[in-house]
Chain A
Amino acid sequence: GQQVMQIPQYQHVQEGEDFTTYCNSSTTLSNIQWYKQRPGGHPVFLIQLVKSGEVKKQKRLTFQFGEAKKNSSLHITATQTTDVGTYFCAARSSGNTGKLIFGQGTTLQVKP
């Protein structure tokens, strides 16, 4: 079945450093969504990418969808302690309208 691989699993950074998490699929994706889960919390939707090569920004967060629509990345510039949490990508294969497959998540720790 479809799998969405996300790396790295964990990342520890010093406050102010940049952070990137990557999401890869062996199949072409209809779209990709990114969610953030704070410690002790629940996943919260961040953004959705639909178009090939699409880039979207939310303040210090930059989201990118690959040209082949098989990979995506989330980059955080100058991390802050409020960025701590687990970031999940989630996607559906082309033509699949039901099942949203989540990546394993990248847990970000930020040292002040």
Chain B
Amino acid sequence: ETGVTQTPRHLVMGMTNKKSLKCEQHLGHNAMYWYKQSAKKPLELMFVYNFKEQTENNSVPSRFSPECPNSSHLFLHLHTLQPEDSALYLCASSQDLLYTDTQYFGPGTRLTVL
């Protein structure tokens, strides 16, 4: 499946580094999402964007900064992360925010914070 792509697929960074995760969807969807998936925890919704506008920030620490320049691209800027931020970061998209809309996930970025 290549509907939603994410780069990089793996990232190792120190706590003082600044890095960015990129997500691109080729499905013509209007809504995009960032999720965090840690071991033995459910998927945690981080941010929701609809038509480039942020509609949800799920109490995410400011060291995570999202950016949505257009409906097809979503970034997650990272700075001064903590080791507990190590996780799989998944991007997803859906047609809109209707309750019947299904979400299409990208392959994820496996992040390790040293």
Contacts and interface: CB of A to CB of B under 8 A. Distances in A.
A85 interface: no
A98 B58 CA distance: 12
Nearest to A29: B99
A50 B105 contact: no
A45 B42 CA distance: 16
Contact of A105 (B42, B102, B107): B42
Interface string B49-88: 0000001101000000000000000000000000000000
Contacts of A96: 99
B43 A102 contact: yes
B48 interface: yes
A24 interface: no
B32 interface: no
Given A48-B100, A96-B99, A97-B99, A102 B42 contact: yes
How would you classify the secondary structure of chain B's contact residues: helix, strand, loop or mixed?
Answer: loop
Interface stretch (A36-44, A58-66, A74-82): A36-44
Interface residues on B, range: 20 to 34
Nearest to A95: B99
Given A41-B107, A42-B105, A99 B56 contact: yes
A72 interface: no
A97 B43 contact: no
Nearest to B48: A98
A34 to B, nearest CB: 10
A92 interface: yes
B95 interface: no
Contacts of B90: 42-43
A41 B56 CA distance: 25
A71 interface: no
Contacts of B45: 99-102
Contact of A42 (B41, B58, B106): B106
Q: Which 9 A/B pairs are nearest by Cβ-Cβ distance?
A: A102-B43, A42-B105, A30-B99, A104-B42, A45-B102, A92-B99, A43-B105, A102-B42, A98-B97
